[in-house]
């Protein structure tokens, strides 16, 4: 699933409204920063030398890999393979959340009725085997990824694309089911691979049987040294066809990028301090405060920095599996959420480093506030019969807050009393030593975790739930097993994080749409099937202006929050990262929207590399300059 969300991030939620569009770039609302013939993106060093190497660890909880195919459901592919190996028709940048520029495509043309888009393939584009990238390869990639052999998320993601038609050797058209201002960029984010990948004689192996076959792609790196299941090195292709292209200049500077995989987070951190790899990101406040310390930091050998960014906040929480009967009543879900005391957790465990997640589009223009205004009501009123009255009559739900001073606000005890009443109204009462339903069945919850880091959060949460009579089990399992259980929806509650987006769009269909609820491996972890949500998702993907997108997303956020499908977690305002001082040099300025791992692997460079003119003034040990 991680590879699919990488693809969603590549899309950046783009599109266009109005007249036909033919240009070097494509923008959702027409706001293109860089003109035809621009030299490079502003946040890169175009003179960055090539060479050297970087060793890092995946930012996810990945504990192994067992295949080289990132597009199928079964198994785990190596970290970051999609971005390292596969070029796309268009590519975004880290300063413009709703604009992308030609990569494999030298020109993009949108029909005036917005029912199709044409791409012209750059005649310079080459696969790693030397073959030219042709329109037939693009169509082949699309058809394979939308087949039943690929992970089901792709069929949802490209679900409103009728098909691809080869017009000429380097010209292809995609036709759409309906006008949708985001769809041209959805197909522009298609990872393209050669028709020869998996070709045996005149027959193609089914995509889901391509396991150990090395992909034939056109990206900046190839697969190098591998300790299968443990470490993988990507080697820069010195003949990369786009190395001098403006959208690639100053990027992908390391000759080798190695990902090392550790099964234990403690061993991983100690290995970093011992010099086994060069860079890592911290997601745990206590670890950042207490474990990223020691002589290496005091000497300046290791840099510890909090990098500012302009990203929308990440959405994180405990997600209910509403496929389970016990979680189908909204009052039950609301009651369970009332038992988590975030303020206590933030003081005692998180060093007050976090803010509470309130809604599904954290710290962005898309977050619902107060009661619905006229614009939201215009979308919600036709759905009144499908929505609870509270959507219209009450302010948008906020996570419960506990106060240090009981006289100044609600306490945890107040929340637990409210939770008890909600559970009783839903048919759950305390008797015979447990919370039971009318059939006498005891209420129990299993929390699954792959790293063990959530244990310190679940423990106090569980104690509060046990006061309501709910039995709690916390189980730590291997990440591969956890992913498998998530794929088949075999869980009660799961901790999940979704990277924030500056332009949410079609990916939400896969995350919250009814069509994906019963599709194994889908991103609809909650199991949400709600016709009102589906109707609002339709408004989101058909928005033709920024105000329309904002209004539809606020309405969606409001309806989802009234459903109490999650126990909201927390988010941070900075990226906490650490790196070996002698390993990197980097531009002085940060882009506005970025994930740190991608920034490091694409924009930073080795200070010892000498294959190009020297870098612009900067050193790895300099403090980060804040983003605007």
What is the tens place of the pLDDT at every residue in 352-361?
Answer: 889 999 999 9
Concatenating the DSSP letter of every residue in 277-329 gives -SEEE---HHHHHHTS-SHHHHHTSEEEEEEE--PPPPEEEEEE-TTSGGG-S
256-260 and 53-56: which strand pairing? parallel
Looking at the predicted structure, is the pLDDT value of residue 474 above 80?
yes
Q: Which residues pair with 317 in a beta bridge?
A: 496, 568
Count Cβ atoms below 10 Å from residue 187 Cβ, excluding itself.
27
Looking at the predicted structure, is the pLDDT value of residue 613 above 50?
no
CA gap 191, 7 in Å, rounded: 8
- Residue 460 is classified by DSSP as H
Angle at 501 between CA 499 and CA 505, to 5 degrees: 120
CATH 3.10.105.10 residue spans of the chain? 315-571
- Average pLDDT of the chain to the nearest whole number: 90
CA gap 51, 54 in Å, rounded: 10
Residue 399's nearest CA partner among 570, 283, 533 is 570
For 142-195, the pLDDT digits (tens) are: 999 999 999 988 998 899 999 999 999 999 999 999 888 888 989 999 999 999
CA gap 611, 560 in Å, rounded: 52
* Mean pLDDT, range 595-621, rounded to an integer: 70
Looking at domain 2-251, which of 3.30.930.10, 3.40.50.720, 3.40.190.10, 3.40.50.300 is its CATH number? Answer: 3.40.190.10
pLDDT at position 283: 87
Count Cβ atoms below 10 Å from residue 363 Cβ, excluding itself.
18
pLDDT at position 179: 87
DSSP, collapsed to helix, strand or coil, labels residue 354 as: coil
* Cα-to-chain-centroid distance, residue 384: 32
Looking at the predicted structure, is the pLDDT value of residue 2 above 50?
no
Angle at 229 between CA 225 and CA 231, to 5 degrees: 40
For 190-231, the pLDDT digits (tens) are: 999 999 999 998 899 999 999 999 999 999 999 999 998 889
Looking up tokens 């089911």 gives 177
How large is the C-alpha radius of gyration of the chain? 25
For 475-513, the pLDDT digits (tens) are: 999 888 998 999 999 999 999 988 888 888 888 999 999
pLDDT at position 348: 93
Q: Which residues pair with 107 in a beta bridge?
A: 120
Looking up tokens 């190839």 gives 222
Most confident of 125-139, 306-320, 536-550: 125-139
CA gap 321, 489 in Å, rounded: 7
Q: What tokens were used for 423?
A: 């559970």
CATH 3.40.190.10 residue spans of the chain? 2-251
* Mean pLDDT, range 584-591, rounded to an integer: 91
pLDDT at position 133: 98
295 CB-near residues (< 8 Å, 6+ apart): none
Give the CA count within 13 Å in the CB-facing half-sphere of 191.
Answer: 28
CA-CA-CA-CA torsion sign (158, 75, 201, 196): positive
Looking up tokens 């896969």 gives 510
Looking at the predicted structure, is the pLDDT value of residue 3 above 60?
no
* Mean pLDDT, range 545-551, rounded to an integer: 91
Concatenating the DSSP letter of every residue in 61-89 gives -------S-TTSSSS-PPTTHHHHH--BS
Count Cβ atoms below 10 Å from residue 245 Cβ, excluding itself.
19
Residue 155's nearest CA partner among 489, 485, 510, 518 is 510
Of 23-32, 65-74, 271-280, 536-545, the range with the lowest mean pLDDT is: 23-32
Q: What tokens were used for 593?
A: 């929207």
CA gap 178, 113 in Å, rounded: 9
pLDDT at position 405: 65
pLDDT at position 408: 64
CB 260 within 8 A of CB 63: no
| pLDDT interval class at 4 (50, 70, 90) | very low
CA gap 58, 416 in Å, rounded: 39
88 CB-near residues (< 8 Å, 6+ apart): 10, 103, 104, 188, 189, 190, 191, 192
- What distances in angstroms separate CA 150 from CA 6, 78, 380, 518, one per listed residue? 16, 17, 36, 16
Overall size of the chain counted in residues? 628
CA gap 557, 583 in Å, rounded: 43
CA gap 519, 323 in Å, rounded: 12
| pLDDT interval class at 543 (50, 70, 90) | confident
> What's the CATH architecture for 315-571?
Roll (3.10)
Looking at the predicted structure, is the pLDDT value of residue 412 above 90?
yes
CB 515 within 8 A of CB 156: yes
426 CB-near residues (< 8 Å, 6+ apart): 329, 331, 332, 335
Angle at 551 between CA 548 and CA 552, to 5 degrees: 85
DSSP, collapsed to helix, strand or coil, labels residue 196 as: coil
Produce one character per residue of 9-37: b if its CB has 16 or more CB atoms within 10 Å, e if not: bbbbbbbbbeeebebbbbbbbeebebeee
For 77-110, the pLDDT digits (tens) are: 999 999 999 999 999 999 988 888 999 999 999 9
| pLDDT interval class at 19 (50, 70, 90) | very low
Does residue 3 or residue 54 have the better pLDDT?
A: 54
pLDDT at position 615: 36
């Amino acid at each position: 699933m991680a590879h699919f969300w990488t693809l969603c991030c590549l899309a950046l939620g783009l599109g266009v409204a109005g007249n036909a569009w033919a240009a070097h770039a494509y923008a959702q609302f027409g706001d293109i920063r860089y003109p035809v013939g621009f030299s490079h993106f502003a946040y890169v060093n175009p003179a960055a030398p090539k060479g050297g190497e970087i060793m890092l660890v995946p930012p996810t909880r990945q504990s192994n890999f067992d295949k080289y195919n990132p597009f199928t459901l079964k198994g785990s592919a190596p970290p970051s393979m999609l971005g390292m190996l596969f070029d796309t028709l268009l590519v975004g940048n880290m300063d413009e959340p709703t604009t992308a520029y030609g990569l494999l495509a030298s020109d993009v043309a949108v029909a005036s009725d917005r029912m199709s888009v044409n791409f012209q393939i750059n005649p310079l584009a080459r696969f790693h085997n030397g073959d030219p990238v042709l329109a037939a390869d693009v169509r082949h990639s699309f058809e394979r990824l939308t087949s039943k052999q690929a992970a089901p998320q792709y069929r949802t993601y490209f679900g409103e694309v009728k098909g691809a038609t080869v017009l000429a050797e380097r010209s292809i058209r995609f036709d759409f089911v309906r006008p949708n201002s985001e769809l041209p960029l959805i197909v522009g984010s298609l990872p393209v691979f050669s028709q020869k990948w998996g070709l045996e004689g005149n027959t193609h192996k089914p995509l889901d049987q391509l396991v150990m076959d090395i992909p034939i792609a056109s990206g900046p790196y190839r697969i190098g040294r591998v300790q299968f299941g443990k470490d993988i090195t990507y080697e820069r292709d010195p003949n990369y066809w786009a190395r001098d292209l403006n959208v690639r200049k100053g990027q992908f500077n390391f000759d080798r990028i190695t990902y090392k995989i550790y099964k234990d987070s403690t061993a991983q951190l100690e290995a970093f301090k011992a010099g086994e790899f060069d860079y890592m990101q911290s997601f745990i406040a206590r670890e950042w405060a207490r474990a990223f310390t020691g002589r290496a930091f005091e000497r300046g050998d290791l840099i510890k920095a909090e990098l500012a960014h302009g990203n929308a906040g990440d959405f994180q929480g405990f997600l209910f599996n509403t496929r389970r009967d016990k979680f189908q009543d909204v009052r039950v879900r609301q009651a369970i959420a009332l038992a988590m005391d975030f303020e206590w957790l933030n003081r005692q465990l998180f060093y007050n480093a976090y803010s509470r997640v309130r809604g599904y589009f954290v710290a962005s223009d898309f977050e619902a506030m107060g009661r619905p205004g006229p614009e939201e009501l215009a979308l919600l009123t036709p759905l009144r019969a499908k929505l609870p009255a509270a959507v219209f009559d009450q302010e948008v739900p906020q996570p419960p807050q506990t106060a240090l001073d009981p006289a100044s606000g609600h306490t945890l005890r107040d929340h637990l009393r409210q939770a008890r009443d909600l559970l009783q109204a839903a048919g759950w009462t305390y008797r015979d030593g447990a919370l039971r339903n009318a059939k006498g069945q005891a209420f129990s919850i299993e929390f699954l975790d792959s790293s063990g880091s959530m244990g310190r959060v679940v423990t106090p949460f569980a104690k509060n739930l046990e006061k309501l009579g709910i039995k709690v089990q916390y189980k730590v399992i291997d990440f591969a097993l956890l992913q498998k259980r998530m794929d088949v929806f075999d869980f009660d509650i799961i901790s999940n994080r979704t990277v924030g987006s500056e332009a949410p769009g079609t990916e939400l269909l896969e995350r919250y749409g009814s069509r994906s609820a019963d599709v194994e491996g889908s991103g609809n972890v909650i199991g949400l099937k709600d016709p009102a949500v589906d109707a609002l998702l339709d408004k989101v993907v058909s928005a033709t202006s920024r105000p329309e997108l904002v209004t539809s997303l606020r309405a969606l956020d409001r309806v989802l929050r009234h459903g109490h499908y999650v126990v909201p977690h927390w988010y941070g305002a900075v990226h906490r990262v650490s790196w070996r001082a002698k390993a990197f040099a980097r531009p002085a300025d940060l882009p506005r929207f970025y994930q740190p791992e991608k920034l490091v692997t694409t924009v930073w460079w080795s200070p010892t590399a000498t294959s190009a003119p020297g870098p612009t003034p900067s050193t790895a040990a300099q403090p980060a300059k804040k983003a605007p």
